[in-house]
Amino acid sequence: MKITRTWNRDNIAQIETLFHTANGYLGVRNAPEEGHVPGSIRGAYINAFHEIVDIHHGEKLYGFPETKQTIANVPDAQTVRLVLNGRAYSMLSDETVDREQTVDTETGLAVRSSVWMHPDGALRVTYTRMASFEIPNLFLLRLRVESVDYDGEIAIESTVNGDVTNYADADDPRVAAEPLRCLSLVSSCVEEDEAMVVCRTLRSGLTVACRAMQGCSLPGSWEGEGALLCGRYEGRLHPGECVKLNKLVVYTDSLRCEDPAEESRRVMREARTLGGYELMRRQKKYLDGWQERTMPRLAAPQPLPEALEYDLYQLLQSTGSDGVGSVAAKGLSGEGYEGHVFWDSEVYVFPYFLWTQPEKARGMLEYRWRLLPAARENARTLGMQKGALFPWRTISGGECSAFFPAGTAQYHIDADIAYAFLQYWRVTGDLAFMAEKGAEVLVETARMWLELGHMQDGEFRIDCVTGPDEYTCCVNNNFYTNAAAQYNLRGAAAVMRALHGADLAERVLAATGVTAEEEAAFEAAADAMRLPRDARLGISPQDDSFLQKKPLDWKALPRTDFPLLLHYHPLFLYRHQICKQADTVLAHLLFPETAEKDTQKKSYDYYDAVTTHDSSLSVCVFATQAARLGDLARAAQGFEATATLDLMDTHGNTRDGLHTASLGGTYLAMLRGFAGIRAEDGGLSVDPVLPEGWDGYELPFEYKGSRLLLQVRGGEARLSLREGDPVDAVVRGEKCRIC
């Protein structure tokens, strides 16, 4: 499927995000090839490659983080300037017409084309980009200049530039406040038709090598020194003729190899041996397999099918699975939230990979397991003698949140991560992974809850926490937090029972020292967990004090005041009944056993009236839960808003990067909402529904090594086995065997 947009002076940064090229390891924004232009946010990023910067506190108290990690803009190799008879091509020039930008989700190619009405004749200028899935270190860029009736001189300048800085916006807390120079030059060189710069971050001490090779139909060579190397090619172009430049760029880093410079040389040899056309052929083959294995087919009015495919393609581009990186809040498309990994990765993005590419989901879990030592240290900083507390936002394991009420106090991050590990176990049945890594995380997060909570009047209480709703901070017994902690505690005990029964507990016992008494304490705390219900309203209270607060008539506020966090002091928001995003509704969706169906319905209506959806993590949850509650009209409306959030830029900040949680929410709505697919202790259950106006859908997924296909048409639903062993499932309440 091709997604097409017309670019102009006003949407440059937005187009850079929407049509960026990435592969989970490397991401390159779709910036103008001619160099920096007004409105551009130029950047290239490597997953988890970061710099360390100071956090400046006006009043610093004990335990506040002193530094944070931020994603580093790596050397820029996307500049390929075109000059005709001394006149430079510019995408912003009035001489440039028929501007079009496309991305093809079947080939993985992003193409920018235009016609340049040069004073000496017309030409078609086409730039093609690709981030290779076959060789994740590789970025490919091609320029094709085809003369219609131009006859004259042509020059092409192609550069590698190690002198780059990070973007900043002092007025937006979702972006770094100050411009940041992360890299210093280590070395640069020209080796025949290849050029390379090697840079090192100033404080984190990470090294990146950027090596470029290019072939051009014009004569020329590399030149320059220092951080800027330039390949210059000159000649003449006649009517009907075409000039081409093919550029291969390899990025390597010290997080993943000992000698990035030498590794870049090896990878470049591999890429050159294959050649550009073979690389593009393999890219298409890879994406053909991805489409067949993972892509839902939606028979519904546009733009839904287009938006669904675009969103899932972007999830594929955004997510690392090598255990070194995972998925940041903006993926690899921009510097919003400084490249930090939040709970979004486990709750919103993880389900897509879990149910379609479990090997990639496992890589995401390995990333969290690698950060477990830092999470243990973080727990000690917060006064806990045992357990581990994962940071609210991080890249390499340290807490990067400088505002603890809406950051570190969101202890539910531990349960969110545990939820992903438990879901992986229940969907894949991979007990060996739980023995090797997963159970260690589950035990340490469960211990954290025992330290954080306490028994009072026969209930296990968790006080002074912040739930998902960041307009309500530091409260007692947040419903979502308690429900998620309960799931974490019970799950840890269940996995340990399974490991003991399979004689696989030795490694976990050695790594954690967990005792039978602790395992029993996990279950006791879960059984006593406080999960209140308000009898008067018939709802689950968001926390112990939320319903006693003064309501805020937020719908009467001017639209220019949204999102509220940019226009109102936090304390104003905290003292009102106002929600930034789904909180209790999310608890009911993920943990439906915590409330009766009637309570869920009444809670949904209550919180829908007080939720602004200022967060992109919100509408998808309400849409998914609406489908489960049978309100299909509201579900379909929320699904469309979720699926098109970035394509339509409805939050007004796509320029800073994609909203990966919302991208994942599109799939979550399909999987959990409309298809009703779940896996818990009772096994696989499927309960599909179909909104009015949709003809049907198909959803491929995997369960315990078998590949299945759910087909829904009209009122009929069919679950079939595509590959693997027969599967027992409950389909619309009926037990059946799929074979």
Which residues neighbour 726 within 8 Å (Cβ) at sequence distance 6 or greater? Answer: 706, 737, 738, 739
Cα(624)–Cα(84) distance, integer angstroms? 54
320, 367 contact by CB (below 8 A): yes
- What the block records as the tokens of 621 is 């949850």
How would you classify residue 550: left for phi > 0, otherwise alpha for psi between -120 and 50, otherwise beta?
beta
Whats the size of the chain, residue-wise?
739
In a 3-state reduction of DSSP, which class is residue 111?
A: strand
**Alpha-carbon dihedral angle through residues 43, 48, 49, 50, given to the nearest 10 degrees:** 90
Choice among 33, 470, 518, 702 that is catalytic? 470
Q: Could you give phi then psi for residue 179, rounded to 5 degrees?
A: -60, 145
604, 629 contact by CB (below 8 A): yes
Cα(11)–Cα(16) distance, integer angstroms? 9
Cα(443)–Cα(521) distance, integer angstroms? 11
What's the Cα-to-Cα distance from 392 to each of 64, 343, 345, 381, 399, rounded to whole Å?
Answer: 13, 7, 12, 14, 6
Decide if 470 is catalytic: yes
Which H/E stretch holds residue 157?
strand 152-161
328, 337 contact by CB (below 8 A): yes
Cα(634)–Cα(640) distance, integer angstroms? 10
Cα(639)–Cα(264) distance, integer angstroms? 43
In a 3-state reduction of DSSP, which class is residue 147?
A: strand
193, 213 contact by CB (below 8 A): yes
- What the block records as the tokens of 277 is 């056309």
Cα(459)–Cα(454) distance, integer angstroms? 8
- What the block records as the tokens of 310 is 């675009």
> What are the b/e assignments for 171-199, b being 16+ CB within 10 Å?
eeebbbeeebebbeeeebebeeebbbbbb
Which residues neighbour 657 within 8 Å (Cβ) at sequence distance 6 or greater? Answer: 17, 329, 330, 331, 333, 334, 335, 336, 337
- What the block records as the tokens of 234 is 């000159």
| Alpha helix (H) residue ranges in 615-729 | 619-629, 632-643, 660-668
Cβ neighbours of 492 (radius 10 Å): 29
Residues tagged active-site: 470
